[in-house]
Amino acid sequence: MSKALFIVDVQNDFTEGGALGVDGGDAVATGISAFLTAHAGEYAVIVASRDWHDSTGDNGGHFHPEPDYVDTWPAHCVGGTDGADYDPGLDVGAVTHHVKKGQGRPAYSLFEGTTDDGVTVGHLLDEHGVVDVDVVGIATDYCVRASALDAIEHGRHVRILTDLVAGVAAETSEAALAELAHAGAELATSGA
């Protein structure tokens, strides 16, 4: 039985100073790097996702000049820009697969993305016999939540490393973690 690590959207636009920066984003980036130094060998697959939106158009209604910050957002993570790059505190040397999601439409779960050669995350998990998935990244209440729920729906045992996630807001992040636990995810810390 194999394990996978999902590193969700640890990008400049989602860490401090970015278009949709969350408090604690930089600390999550460096925390994940430290975790990988100690634990990368425990994972058969390490998938890092990035929002990768088109520079033109509204990306299927995802971008809006007057965003509601629920379903619509200011422009962020436009492919090829600094905002779409990984946070400099995140060492991606151990990442086995890079996934881009969005690309002209709203996308929250890393299951909605593909590698540059078109491979889906579901296929990667099946190919490597992955049963257990650990999830870290940004934002707890959006893309981490969606990715973890999809992993559960795909029949995987999911563990959220709560010290290696950061959310948009405390209340919605707590609600997301409670929802994930109710759906069957295990809430743990990276030291456990």
Catalytic residues: 9, 101, 143
Element of type H or E holding 39: helix 25-39
Tokens at 9, concatenated? 């959207």
Q: How many angstroms from the chain centroid is the CA of residue 69?
A: 18
Nearest partner of 27 among 128, 132, 167, judged by Cα = 167
- The radius of gyration of the chain's CA atoms, rounded to the nearest angstrom, is 15
The number of CA neighbours under 13 Å toward the Cβ of 20 is: 26
Q: Strand, helix or coil at 124? A: helix
Contacts of 171 (CB under 8 A, 6+ apart): none
Indicate the residue type of 46: I
Q: Strand, helix or coil at 156? A: coil
Tokens at 124, concatenated? 């990667």
- Confirm if 49 and 8 have CB atoms less than 8 A apart: yes
